[in-house]
Amino acid sequence: MDLGLRDRTYIITGASRGLGFATAKVLADEGARLVISSRNEESITRAAKQLGDQVVGIPVDNADPESAERLAATAIAKWGSLHGALISVGGPRPGTALDTDEEDWRAAFDSVFLGGLRIARAVARAGSDGTSIAFVLSSSVKSPIPGLAISNGLRPGLAMVAKTLADELGPNGVRVNGLLPGRIATDRLKELDGKGGDPEAARRASEKTIPLRRYGSPEEFGRVAAFVLSPVASYISGAMIPIDGGVLRTL
């Protein structure tokens, strides 16, 4: 299927590795033009080179209030148009609701919540007809994940902001959706699995709870994200789409 992505322009944050990079690769392979970002200049420059000539990488921190406008302005200056964004950010620090520091909550709110909202607003203002915005959230939107209290607190709120933006921006032809990854085999998940000292045992135990009995790959996530961002998904908006192998037990 042709996703209709050729010569369309997208911003991908958190794109130096993991889910962001996997999505950027699918989009680039489909002929899209990209502005990709992460906090580390060396890693985002390396990622941009891997993805090809139609990709520019810039180091920005989503928590920086100026980052959103810088990303949108770069897309317009480089490619002349903007058609959407995948808004992804590294997961907040693990911990329980009882033991996480207030400073960790504030830092995560600035990067995950406010940073994501700023980018969505900037893309909506600068975007062309048929703009599509997708937030990378988590299965914690619908069911809490043990040991990830901050994510459990922020992701559901951001999901409702995404739903609200879908209502507010829909009359302008802008679509907004949320993606809910479950156990996807990224470096972040490897880190979490290693907390107990035996990452392979943790993985085997987790896989038993997944109907497909395996972790997903970043590429599997990237294909779904690219579809949601593409014109082919032109009548999908305000949706929260699980990419979790069936692990969520909620509707």
CATH number at residue 152: 3.40.50.720
Cα–Cα nearest to 63, from 100, 108, 101, 18: 108
Structure tokens at 149: 């209290």
pLDDT at residue number 195 = 83
Number of folded domains in the chain?
Answer: 1
pLDDT at residue number 188 = 87
What does the mean pLDDT of the chain come to?
Answer: 96
pLDDT at residue number 129 = 85
**Residue 187 in this model has a pLDDT that exceeds 90:** no
Residue 90, by phi and psi: left (phi above 0), alpha (psi -120 to 50) or beta?
A: beta
**Residue 192 in this model has a pLDDT that exceeds 90:** no
Q: Which of 85-94, 99-108, 175-184, 240-249 has the lowest mean pLDDT?
A: 85-94
Q: Is residue 108 part of a domain?
A: yes
Q: Is residue 198 part of a domain?
A: no
pLDDT band at 159 (very low <50, low <70, confident <90, very high): very high
Full residue range of the structural domain in which residue 88 is found: 9-184+218-240
Cβ contact 15:88 at 8 Å: yes
Q: Is residue 137 part of a domain?
A: yes
Model's pTM, two decimal places? 0.96
